[in-house]
Amino acid sequence: MSSTIKIVLGTLTGFLVWFVVATAGNLLVRAWLPGYSEAEPTMSFTLGMQLARLAVGAVASIAAGTACALAARSNPGAARFFAVVLVLFFIPVHYVLWERFPWWYHVTFLISLAPLVVFGATFAGSREKRPN
C-alpha cells in the first residue's frame, strides 16, 4: 500500500474514531454529571463539566491517534498529518465558541490535540512491536 494511501486511510480512521469516542464520552458525561444535560444547550458548564469535556477530548485524541497509526500500519507521517488536520479542523470551531468558554479551555484543548494524537500513535507502535 502506498504511503499516501496509508496517510489518507489513517486520517479518515482517526477522524471516525475521534468522533465516535467523543460522542460516547459525551453520553457518559451526560449520565454521570448532574446538571450537564441541562447546561448543554446553552453551554453554561461548570468548571467540573469543562474539565470532563477536556478529559473526553483527551481520551478521544489518544484513541484516534492509536487508530490512525494502526490503520496506516505505523506510517510515522500518518499520525503527524492527522494531528495537524485535527487541529486545523478545530480552530474555527473554537473561534465560533470563543465567548462561551474561558480562554484557558480553548488553549488547553487546541494545544493538547496534536501531542495526544502522536502519543496514541506511539502507543499503537509499541503494541505492534510486542511479541505474540
Nearest to 103 by CA among 91, 94, 113, 115: 94
Q: Is 87 exposed, middle or buried (0-12, 13-18, 19+ CB in 10 A)?
A: middle
Q: How confident is the model at residue 129 (pLDDT cuts 50, 70, 90)?
A: low
Contacts of 93 (CB under 8 A, 6+ apart): none
- Taking 90 as the threshold, does the pLDDT of residue 1 lie above it? no
As a whole number of angstroms, the distance between CA 82 and CA 118 comes to 9
Q: What is the percentage of the chain residues whose pLDDT exceeds 70?
A: 92
**With contact defined as beta carbons under 8 Å apart, do 11 and 79 qualify?**
no
Give the pLDDT of residue 128: 52
Give the pLDDT of residue 132: 46
- Taking 90 as the threshold, does the pLDDT of residue 4 lie above it? no
Mind listing the pLDDT tens digit for each residue in 51-105? Answer: 999 999 999 999 999 999 999 986 778 999 999 999 999 999 999 999 999 999 9
Q: How many residues are there in the chain? A: 132
- The most distant pair of C-alpha atoms in the chain lies apart, rounded to whole Å, by 50
Q: What mean pLDDT is reported for the chain?
A: 92
**With contact defined as beta carbons under 8 Å apart, do 40 and 54 qualify?**
no
Query: Looking at the whole model, is its pTM more than 0.85?
Result: yes
